[in-house]
Amino acid sequence: MKDIKRYSAVEFKATPLKNQKRGDWDVVLEYHGEGEGPWLVDLSHRTRLDLQSSDLATKKPFGITIPETPCRSVLEKGMLLNRMNRIQTSIYHLDGETIDIPEEKEYTDVTEATIFVAIFGSRVFSVCEKLSNLDFAGENKQTPFLFQGPFSHVPCQIVTLSREAEKSGVVLTCSRGYGKHMIDGILHAGEEFGLTPAGEARFTSWINNL
């Protein structure tokens, strides 16, 4: 039997240039020919948690205060917290070393439930506009903010992290099963804008510059 590995539902037809073994994941840090952007990065190996509690106000996951208003998000210490509704928050680990999942029962590790990708760089919202009728550019929303709605006709969580020209970008999760077709759809929509797969390093650099 070969090594036990974990596989992402996201697969790019690009040649990895730099890899890193992280637990049982084989994480691609850089691909050949990443181009000038915009970029699509697979973050499915990054931990996502579901926090549900009737008393969310008292919860401070990883020492971060959860936004009070549904659909508001907060990005701190490499963690992105998205208030989904009265009782529920999604937590994405975007940057930094592996995290310890809190032991309280209110937390469920949902890393496996979804694919997790970032789309960023100039014209990212032109790509999004081809796949979703959600208004990413509406001035009435302050970044970061959460949409729970359709993207390529599939229910997603999409967090807009920045709308600043070259720094524009979103992270997106959807049911893992849709992984292949969602990625095909995003890459096809982004083809005319030069959207290319990129490794995690590109994402890390982006997130650290926000």
The DSSP call for residue 99 is P
Residue 148 binds another protein, judged by CB under 8 A: no
Residue 209 binds another protein, judged by CB under 8 A: no
In single-letter form, the type of residue at position 120 comes to F
Chosen residue from 53, 122, 148, 204 binding another protein by CB under 8 A: 53
Chosen residue from 33, 87, 149, 164 binding another protein by CB under 8 A: 87
Ramachandran region, residue 121 (left: φ > 0; alpha: ψ -120 to 50; beta: rest): left
Only segment of 7-15, 57-65, 67-75, 158-166 that touches another protein (CB under 8 A): 7-15
Residue 89 binds another protein, judged by CB under 8 A: no
Long-range contacts of 70-73 (CB under 8 A, 24+ apart): 71/145, 71/146, 71/147, 71/148, 72/145, 72/146, 73/144, 73/145, 73/146, 73/159
Residues that bind another protein (CB under 8 A): 1-2, 4-9, 24-25, 44, 50, 52-54, 87-88, 105-106, 108, 110-114, 129-135, 137-138, 152-154, 175-182, 184-185, 188-189, 191-192
